[in-house]
Chain A
């Protein structure tokens, strides 16, 4: 089980700010996870938007990065500032 966080407007799409999910073994990269979750939520591409960045354990990563060993995965839309 991996902890997944959805920040800002993304939680409106997923209906939750945080969840624990069993990610299928064939989802090996951040980009694959993005696609899988977008389909899972019927998000219509909201999670695929390149301005939505993905962080593994608090580090921003590219879509090609492997997911293994990450304990927390965050989906982050453009930050809105304070």
Chain B
């Protein structure tokens, strides 16, 4: 399942739905990302996220297929917010289900690296000192590079 929407993400509810959907799996891993309250230029008041549909969704679907080709995962859920958010809001929810935990952990980690660096989103932080568009951090790129040419275990 994939959803890119301005609707709030209820991670607890998303997990319950995913557990019901993936009750045959054996191992479920979830990740929720929240809007951070701080930025280099001060306290974050609003985080604005822009997507370009359907390019954003198409890219995430490709990453999901890539994850499925690398690890034996049975179910995947990616929920991503767009629009204006405040600190503490869930910005992303990723869940993976597999027969064994390692595949579920690694696939979720892989999808998050895609979402943090390659996904088609533009992000603007509003602080007391003004608004600033944010580009990926160097460590986001190096995190994503971990998966390059890596053989599936």
For A, the interface residue count at a CB cutoff of 8 angstroms equals 15
Given contacts A80-B133, A80-B136, A81-B116, contact A74 B121 (CB under 8 A): no
Neighbouring B residues of A12 by C-beta, 8 Å: 133
In the bound complex, residues from chain B placing their C-beta under 8 Å from that of A78 are 135-136
Which of B47-55, B69-77, B96-104 binds A?
B47-55
Q: Does B123 contact A (CB under 8 A)?
A: yes
B residues 32-57 in Cβ contact with A at 8 Å: 33, 49-50, 52, 54-55
Q: Is there contact, CB below 8 Å, between A55 and B134?
A: no
B147 contacts partner chain A, Cβ-Cβ < 8 Å:
no
Measured in the bound complex, the distance between the Cα atoms of B132 and A8 in whole Å is: 10
CB neighbors of B among A29-63 (8 A): 55, 58
Which residues of the partner chain A approach B134 to less than 8 Å between Cβ atoms?
A: 80
**A76 interface residue (CB < 8 Å to B):** yes
- The dominant DSSP class at the A interface is loop
Judge if B15 is at the interface, Cβ distance under 8 Å: no
| Nearest-CB residue, chain A, relative to B78 | A82
Contact among B33, B54, B58, B122 for A7, CB-based, below 8 A: B122
Q: Is A68 an interface residue (CB 8 A)?
A: no
Which 4 residue pairs of A and B lie closest in terms of their CB atoms, listed nearest first?
A: A8-B122, A80-B123, A9-B133, A81-B116
A-B contact pairs, 16 of them (CB 8 A): A5-B52, A7-B52, A8-B124, A9-B133, A74-B52, A77-B122, A77-B133, A79-B119, A80-B123, A81-B116, A82-B33, A82-B49, A82-B80, A82-B115, A82-B116, A82-B121
Residues of B within 8 A of A (CB): 33, 49-50, 52, 54-55, 58, 80, 91-92, 115-124, 133-136, 140
A interface residues with partner B (beta carbon < 8 Å) = 5, 7-9, 12, 55, 58, 74, 76-82
